Structure 1
C-alpha cells in the first residue's frame, strides 16, 4: 500500500473525487471504515459474496484503500493478513479477480493490466495500445513507477522486448509522450509528404502523433483529410501494415474519440477487457463510455452485461456500471 496515496487521499477520501466528474463510483457519503471492516470480516467467514460486492463497489478507491489498511490493522498480529489475501481465500474465478482489481491503486491496476498483456507466448498488443493511447504522459510516468515497484522491472525495457520495428518505436514514444508546441500546417505537410514516396515513412507519424495535444492533433487530422481527400483511417490502412498499422489506427481513434474506442472494446464482452476498462475508468469517465456504448450498440452497457454475465459477478459489474441508460 502506498503511504503517500493514503496521506493525500484517504485522510479526506472526497478531495480527489468531485461530484461533477464523469465517473460512476464516487465517495460513499456515510463512510465508516470500522463498520465496513467488521462487515467484511463477517462476510469472509461466511463466504458471503453479496456483502463483499455491496461494500467494495460502493466505495471510492481512496475509501477502499482505507478499508484495506484498517482490515490489516484489526486482524490479530500473529495471523495478520491483508484484505486481498483474505479475498483470495474466500472467493474464486472472475469475481475474485474483479474485487482484487478494485482493491488495487489506479496506477497499480494499469501496471497489472500491462503485465498481463505481455505475459505468456503472445502479446496482447491492443491492451498495450489502449492504456498507452488513452493515458497522459504524466499518468504513464506514474504507471511506469507502479510497474517498477510491483514487478521490479523497467516498463520501457519490457515493452521493447515484447515488440519490434516501427511498432516498438511507437509504443516507446507513447510511453514517453511529452506534449510540445507545433504548427498545424507544418504537421499536415510532414504527414502528407511521408506518404508520397514508394514506401510510407513511419517516423513523422510517430513523432507528431505522440508529441501534440488532442486539440492540435484533431485539427491536423482534419486538415490532412481535406488535403488528401481520404480519411485518416484509409490513409493508414493502405500505407502501413502489421502491428504498426494497428497502433496508428488505435492512436487516431483515441485522439478523435477515446470514449468511443473504449466502448468498442467493451462490445466484445470479453471478461478481462470489461473488468479492466470498467474498473480503471469507474472514477473518471465511465459515464461517457456508457453513453458511447449505447450509441454504438443500441443497448445500454447495463443491459448488455446482464446478457453475458451472471450471479455475484454480474451484480458487481452492474454496481460499477451503476444504472441503466
Structure 2
C-alpha cells in the first residue's frame, strides 16, 4: 500500500453536509434562565451536589453552558470550572469540565491529545500503529488536517516520510478501518463505543451530543443488539452514570 493512497483516503475523509441539527440528544433548553441556573449551581457546588450539576449541565447546549459560565463569573467573581474541580473528582469531574469547554476549545484539547499520541509513537523504539489507526479513523477532515500539519511541525518530517519509515503491515489494517469510517462514520463510532472505555465513551458522547448522537445510538443498537442506554448502565455507576445517561437521553 503506497503512502500516496493514504493521502488520497485522507483527502476523501469529508463528512458530507447533512442536516444533523435535529439528530443530537442535547438541544438548547427552551426555558433557559442563566441567572436561575447560576443560583442552583452555586448552591450545588457548596453542597457538592453532583446530581444537580449533572441535571443542569447535561440539559443545556454548549452555547447555553458558555452563558452560564460567564454569568457565574460575573455573579460570584469565581470561575465555574474551578468550582467544579473543587467540588467533584474522578471521571465525573472530567466529563463536566469537558461539557463546560467551548466547542472549539474542546476540539483543540482533543487535537493536542491526538498529536501527543502520534509523536509518542514516532519517538518510540518500535512503531505503534494504534494511535495512528484510532486518530485517522475517528476525526473529521478539518481535525485530521490540523493533526497532520501539527505533527509535521513538531516532528520535523513530512507525514508521508514518517509513515514510510515506521510502518508496514499495520498500515494496511489502518486503511481498512479508515475506509469503514469514511463510508459509515456512525457505525464506526458505535463500534468504538462497544469498548466502553471511559475516555472513548466520554469523547464521543460529548463531541456528538448536539450533532448526531441519535444516529450513533441507532448504529450501536444494530451492531450489538443492546441499546447504548442499557450498555452504559451495565458498565458505569453512580453520578457518573447519571451524567452519561442524561447525555444519551433514552432507550432505543
Query: Is structure 2 residue 90 aligned with structure 1 residue 83?
Result: no
- The equivalent residue for 1:241 is 169
Query: Is structure 2 residue 89 aligned with structure 1 residue 92?
Result: yes
- The equivalent residue for 1:15 is none
Q: CA deviation at 1:307?
A: 0.4
Whole-angstrom distance in 1 between the partners of 2:246 and 2:154: 34
Query: Is structure 2 residue 52 aligned with structure 1 residue 57?
Result: no
**Residue deviations 1:212-263 (CA, integer Å, cap 9, x gap):** xxxxxxxxxxxxxxxxxxxxxxxxxxxx622x32431232012111100000
CA contact 1:110–1:131 (8 Å) conserved in 2: no
- The equivalent residue for 2:150 is 155
Q: CA deviation at 1:159?
A: 6.7
Q: How does 1:173-212 map to 2 (within 5 A)?
A: none
Q: CA deviation at 1:162?
A: 10
Q: How does 1:62-73 map to 2 (within 5 A)?
A: 62-73=63-74
| Residue in structure 2 matching 1:129, options 125, 129, 136 | 136
CA contact 1:19–1:26 (8 Å) conserved in 2: no
| Residue in structure 2 matching 1:287, options 193, 214, 219 | 214
- The equivalent residue for 1:7 is none
Query: Is structure 2 residue 182 aligned with structure 1 residue 255?
Result: yes
- The equivalent residue for 2:107 is 110
Alignment gaps of 5+ in structure 1: 1-17, 148-153, 170-239
**Residue deviations 1:110-157 (CA, integer Å, cap 9, x gap):** 22123234447945334422443xx143x667xx4xx9xxxxxx7344
Count of aligned pairs between the two proteins:
221
Alignment gaps of 5+ in structure 2: 1-18, 122-130
**Residue deviations 1:22-55 (CA, integer Å, cap 9, x gap):** 1100000000000001100000000000000000
TM-score (norm. length: structure 2): 0.78
CA contact 2:23–2:213 (8 Å) conserved in 1: yes
Whole-angstrom distance in 2 between the partners of 1:85 and 1:162: 39
| CA spacing shift, 1:19–1:109, aligned 2, 3 Å | closer
TM-score (norm. length: structure 1): 0.62
CA contact 2:152–2:159 (8 Å) conserved in 1: no
Whole-angstrom distance in 2 between the partners of 1:162 and 1:52: 45
CA contact 2:45–2:84 (8 Å) conserved in 1: yes
- The equivalent residue for 1:150 is none
Whole-angstrom distance in 2 between the partners of 1:276 and 1:295: 21
Q: Name which structure has the greater RCO, CA cutoff 8 Å, separation 6+.
A: 2
| CA spacing shift, 1:260–1:312, aligned 2, 3 Å | same
What's the C-alpha RMSD, in Å, of the aligned pairs? 2.8
Query: Is structure 2 residue 250 aligned with structure 1 residue 318?
Result: no
